[in-house]
Amino acid sequence: MAASDSERPYRTWMCVVCGYIYDEAKGAPEDGLAPGTRWEDVPETWTCPDCGVTKADFELYEG
């Protein structure tokens, strides 16, 4: 049985172009993403606030 969103740990995603880190726990409030916003809930139209690339240019970050 899969863990609910509230039970699974937050993850971080890194922009492969500029290295910007999106942390699900912190969100990106300055870009309209509240703390706790899961990566799959980030709109496809969202772009990296540092370099402007799309979600497709982010990878799961295990840092």
Annotated binding site: 15, 18, 48, 51
* Cα–Cα distance for residue pair 63/49, rounded to 1 Å: 20
Q: Yes or no: say if 25 and 38 are a contact pair by the CB < 8 Å rule.
A: no
For residue 15, give the DSSP letter.
Answer: E
Binding-site sequence positions for Fe cation: 15, 18, 48, 51
Q: What are the tokens at 30? A: 């300055």
